[in-house]
């Protein structure tokens, strides 16, 4: 009897506050996105994993076949096409097996299809949504799977698992503290996300930040206050002031210019980097639709808040 396919889906993510310093215990405001990624599993009779990844244009952007060898003592997986992506998938599958030795039976094969509804260069969580989906499939802790593979703060896993905005707080040697919150600014129609035309590697950004040493509690407290103030903010002008303050703190900490002074000096609203500085999306505020302005600067992807945020 043919088994029914099983599908898992995870939300994408955006980090609105506490970029970098979330790693040092600052409270972050993060939002799950309407964009996300699904993973569908169907058993087959090949004893292999037949993998296909489909992008937002319904195009296959990756495919490979993996042979599962005897799993009695240690998982052995070989790829037909030994690409970088294949090697990364093998790493994730082995890590999931280490966390749950009952995962993957060498007597069965699997046809796996992933589908993301966003451009994977956008930085909305191609990796984190995959990790969370595989963790669900393998019945393991997604945070532990992340730690054994990509590392990072884990806020992206929290977004993958929640359908409302959250605050995210790391405690040393403890589980992260995640609170679902009401973040629905009255001025959200004046908030937009602009893609900077380049993918930023979060791991590289984190490594560069860590080289600068630990930060003091004064900075953490300042970011915590800004996070709380942004959540409760009632006016666009006050929100813009909070953005400027936040950008100033992180700019000094990582010794980089804020995105507005670097690229958008003549823009009338505020602009804030999200996640690792230098790529992916930025949050901008504008009393009028800023699409024409950003397109004139060569930035074609401008997404209104309501079209991006799952709320």
pLDDT above 60: residue 298: yes
> What is the DSSP track for 123-151?
-S-HHHHHHHHHHHHHTS-HHHHHHHHT-
Q: What is the arithmetic mean of pLDDT over 51-72?
A: 91
Pick the CATH number of 6-178 from 3.40.50.2000, 3.50.40.10, 3.30.230.10, 3.30.530.20: 3.30.230.10
Q: How many Cβ atoms sit within 10 Å of the Cβ of residue 82? A: 10
pLDDT above 90: residue 105: no
Of residues 13 and 276, more confidence is placed in: 13
Confidence of residue 302 (pLDDT cuts 50, 70, 90): very high
pLDDT value of position 139:
97
pLDDT above 60: residue 1: no
| Spatial contact of 14 and 308, defined as CB atoms under 8 Å apart | yes
pLDDT value of position 82:
85
Average pLDDT, the chain: 92
Predicted TM-score (pTM) of this structure: 0.93
Confidence of residue 75 (pLDDT cuts 50, 70, 90): confident
Pick the CATH number of 183-308 from 3.30.70.890, 3.30.465.10, 3.40.605.10, 3.90.1150.10: 3.30.70.890
Confidence of residue 266 (pLDDT cuts 50, 70, 90): very high
Looking at the chain, which residues constitute the CATH 3.30.230.10 domain(s)? Answer: 6-178
Whole-angstrom distance, CA of residue 167 vs CA of residue 165: 7
Q: What is the share, in percent, of the chain residues with pLDDT greater than 90?
A: 79
Whole-angstrom distance, CA of residue 68 vs CA of residue 77: 5
What pLDDT digit, counting tens, does each position of 168-227 carry? 999 877 789 999 999 999 999 999 999 999 876 655 556 666 666 567 899 999 999 999
pLDDT value of position 311:
76
Q: What is the arithmetic mean of pLDDT over 240-247?
A: 98
Q: What is the arithmetic mean of pLDDT over 47-72?
A: 92
**Strands of the chain, DSSP E:** 6-15, 28-44, 48-54, 60-68, 77-79, 109-116, 166-169, 177-180, 191-195, 271-273, 281-285, 302-304
Tokens standing for residue 250: 């992180």
Looking at the chain, which residues constitute the CATH 3.30.70.890 domain(s)? Answer: 183-308
pLDDT value of position 309:
97
pLDDT value of position 189:
98
What pLDDT digit, counting tens, does each position of 132-141 carry? 999 999 999 9
């Amino acid at each position: 009897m043919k088994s029914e396919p099983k599908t898992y889906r995870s939300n994408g993510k955006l980090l609105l506050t506490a970029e970098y310093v979330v790693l040092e215990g600052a409270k972050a405001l993060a939002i799950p996105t309407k964009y996300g990624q699904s993973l569908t599993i169907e058993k087959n009779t090949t004893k292999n994993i037949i993998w296909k990844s489909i992008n937002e244009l319904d195009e296959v952007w990756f495919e490979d076949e993996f042979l599962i060898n005897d799993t009695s003592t240690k998982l052995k997986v070989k790829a037909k096409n030994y690409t970088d992506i294949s090697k990364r998938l093998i790493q994730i599958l082995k890590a999931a097996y280490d966390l749950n030795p009952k995962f993957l039976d060498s007597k069965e094969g699997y046809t796996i299809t992933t589908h993301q509804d966003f451009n994977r260069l956008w930085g909305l969580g191609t990796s984190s949504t995959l990790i969370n989906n595989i963790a669900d499939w393998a019945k393991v802790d997604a945070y532990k799977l992340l730690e054994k593979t990509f590392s990072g703060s884990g806020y992206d896993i929290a977004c993958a698992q929640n359908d409302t905005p959250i605050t995210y707080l790391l405690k040393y040697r403890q589980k992260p503290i995640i609170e679902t919150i009401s973040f629905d600014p009255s001025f959200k129609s004046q908030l937009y996300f602009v893609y900077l035309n380049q993918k930023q590697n979060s791991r590289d950004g984190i490594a560069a930040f860590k080289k600068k040493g630990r930060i003091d509690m004064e900075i953490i407290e300042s970011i915590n206050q800004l996070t709380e103030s942004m959540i409760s903010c009632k006016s666009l002008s006050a929100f813009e002031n909070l953005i400027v303050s936040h950008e100033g703190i992180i700019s000094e900490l990582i010794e980089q210019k804020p995105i507005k002074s670097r690229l958008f000096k003549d823009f009338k609203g505020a602009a804030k980097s999200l996640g690792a500085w230098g790529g992916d999306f930025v949050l901008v505020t504008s009393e009028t639709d800023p699409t024409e302005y950003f397109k004139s600067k060569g930035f074609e992807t401008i997404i209104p808040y309501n079209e991006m945020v799952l709320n």
